[in-house]
Structure 1
């Protein structure tokens, strides 16, 4: 019997398009129907209803088990309904109707959530996956426009079952209506499933995208710091390396007001598994005005003071966040904080970040939705940062 194994889930939203993916139990065709969400003007104000008329249909007759269709010609910052359908000789299957929202324009506010380690913590997890379910549920409460996963979303990236057990299964309700981005962690092991299940720009292990006034850059720190040399650099963070050259070009070319970089291994954390060689990237990020760097790997939460040139600098410094979210390893902290540590706590957590043209407001919340840290960064039209 033909069934939907994963999804549907959303990838790569732009102002005018979005990619929809799902996996079926057998090779089958692919169809996506998109309908404009209609506002209800009576009863509960602000609700939407599903119209009867299909706005856009995208088809792929060639059979596959992992389905990927991009819907174009949509309006920016607009809510739609979508439904997926697959057919083969043995039957047909279709999803229910789910929401999707296109990307906002420049000058418009948006929010995103962040977590990680949904699989990386599995060897220590005595909750039998309840932490993951709690965090996905809490992120859904905040209704983010997009979300970031900072690696180790599975325990073993080469194990097909892990992708359902630790990520697509517990995150099902959240991922049907929240486009997400992820980076490679060491637990993904650069496995082919990462490249099969995600629709990021080639080469997929590193990429960048714009959303509103923010430019996001994803790097593959497991390539810069290879397994054989970990935690030391393998010498790739230099001109001539494809990823490094991409990073330099991308930083030079973006005109976005806000710049956020994320990758798995943390260059700064007052705990175990700090990968100090990645501090080689800091001068480059300082030169081109990166505002926030988000990492994971050490399964704790930590926020740094703004750092520039190896010192605390509230005018030019970058804030580094370790968001080892879906787990808590207090024993991995050092006995005392490092000079760069502003706040830290080892609890399962996620981040909720709200971006406006002039401000970045970050809240760190535990798996039950309790706030335990926050900070706000305000940016004047001149580019000067003010930490609130």
Structure 2
């Protein structure tokens, strides 16, 4: 009998396309229908309802597979649509949906995204039997972001097939059906092939970049810079001539977005255990090419740095480093007192919500119960000078 195992879930949104993925129990066909979103008006209130019949277009892949990846195209920017998935073979058929999806917004249009991590990395310490993961996903869903970033360790052991459902796709299912997600490799993923199979990131998949609205996002693979054989140190100097560093320089140099955000797993700055100082070799590149915000994880705490540049606090041109070790809390991993670079730090299960406009980034840290516990804003003037609030 044919069954739906994972998803559907959304990947790689652009202004005119969206990639839909899901997994079935047996090889089967892949088909996605895009349906028009119908607006309901009642007095001054308005909302969308799932359409029953208005199929705008349908997309399908040739051949049968168990992990399905279909890109729907010819969509309009910043628009809400609904979608359905279909798979069929000689043993049966499955259908799921309709679910809402929203294409990427144009430059100049505000949007929001959420950030968390450690849905799997915290599992060995979690006494709640996975309830923290569920609460974090529920809180992210509550904020209705346009996309979500997961900063590594989304599973406990990336080589164990079951872990991908237990720690990520299972608890995240209601959220991931309508919210495109991106992630980076953490040490718990262990470079497993399932990562490449389950996500539709741009090759080589362990590092990539994309634009959304006024933000350019760059994903790096810190586990490539810091091999587990030499952790917490790099195998040698990190710099030009290495494929990933050369990619980073080309990528940031050519990026035209107003804001630049980089994310990778190991933190170069944190007042806690598992700080990986060798990754500070990347900071001069971030500074040279105007990076505004860096997200890390690995240490299972929340921490926000002062704006930093050239190893000092700089409220004119500095970069803010945020450790969003979100789906867990390990207060014993914090140092007894904060380091010089730390602005705020606390060990609670959390997510980070960011609202991006042309001239502001508003950053909110929210715990698993929905309480705001840290907030900051970065403002960028017409001449790209920054102010921090």
TM-score scaled by length of structure 2: 0.99
Q: C-alpha displacement at 1:43, in angstroms?
A: 6.2
Q: Tell me the alpha carbon deviations over residues 289-314 of structure 1, each in whole angstroms, 9 at most, x when there is no partner.
A: 10000000000000000000000000
Work out the CA distance in 2 between the residues paired with 1:239 and 1:96.
Answer: 47
* 1:141 equivalent in alignment to 2:142: yes
Partner of 1:345: 346
Q: C-alpha displacement at 1:50, in angstroms?
A: 2.9
Partner of 1:243: 244
- What SS does the corresponding residue of 1:97 show, helix, strand or coil? strand
Partner of 1:233: 234
Q: Tell me the alpha carbon deviations over residues 225-266 of structure 1, each in whole angstroms, 9 at most, x when there is no partner.
A: 001111111226222211110000001101111000000000
Superposed structure 1 runs of 4+ greater than 4 Å apart: none
Partner of 1:209: 210
Work out the CA distance in 1 between the residues paired with 2:47 and 2:371.
Answer: 27
- What SS does the corresponding residue of 1:293 show, helix, strand or coil? strand
Q: Which runs of 5+ in 2 are unaligned?
A: none
Query: Mapping of 1:159-308 within 5 angstroms?
Result: 159-235=160-236, 237-308=238-309
Residues 224 and 236, structure 1, Cα contact 8 Å, conserved in 2 = no
Work out the CA distance in 2 between the residues paired with 1:246 and 1:10.
Answer: 26
Residues 50 and 99, structure 2, Cα contact 8 Å, conserved in 1 = no
Work out the CA distance in 1 between the residues paired with 2:303 and 2:289.
Answer: 24
Q: Tell me the alpha carbon deviations over residues 136-186 of structure 1, each in whole angstroms, 9 at most, x when there is no partner.
A: 000000000000000000000000000000000000000000000000000
Deviates more, 1:1-10 or 1:36-45: 36-45
Work out the CA distance in 2 between the residues paired with 1:346 and 1:58.
Answer: 45
Query: Mapping of 1:87-126 within 5 angstroms?
Result: 87-126=88-127
Query: Mapping of 1:57-72 within 5 angstroms?
Result: 57-72=58-73
Work out the CA distance in 2 between the residues paired with 1:358 and 1:211.
Answer: 15
Partner of 1:8: 8
Deviates more, 1:58-67 or 1:79-88: 58-67
- What SS does the corresponding residue of 1:274 show, helix, strand or coil? coil
Residues 79 and 100, structure 1, Cα contact 8 Å, conserved in 2 = yes
Q: Tell me the alpha carbon deviations over residues 167-207 of structure 1, each in whole angstroms, 9 at most, x when there is no partner.
A: 00000000000000000000000000000000000000000
* 1:32 equivalent in alignment to 2:64: no
Work out the CA distance in 2 between the residues paired with 1:187 and 1:346.
Answer: 20
Residues 323 and 351, structure 1, Cα contact 8 Å, conserved in 2 = yes
Work out the CA distance in 2 between the residues paired with 1:185 and 1:324.
Answer: 11
Work out the CA distance in 2 between the residues paired with 1:78 and 1:300.
Answer: 36
Q: Tell me the alpha carbon deviations over residues 210-238 of structure 1, each in whole angstroms, 9 at most, x when there is no partner.
A: 00000000000000000111111122622
Residues 35 and 54, structure 2, Cα contact 8 Å, conserved in 1 = yes
Work out the CA distance in 1 between the residues paired with 2:130 and 2:383.
Answer: 46
- What SS does the corresponding residue of 2:257 show, helix, strand or coil? coil
Work out the CA distance in 2 between the residues paired with 1:116 and 1:98.
Answer: 25
Residues 236 and 244, structure 1, Cα contact 8 Å, conserved in 2 = no
Q: C-alpha displacement at 1:334, in angstroms?
A: 0.6
Partner of 1:155: 156
Q: C-alpha displacement at 1:278, in angstroms?
A: 0.2
Aligned pair count reads 388
Residues 13 and 103, structure 2, Cα contact 8 Å, conserved in 1 = yes
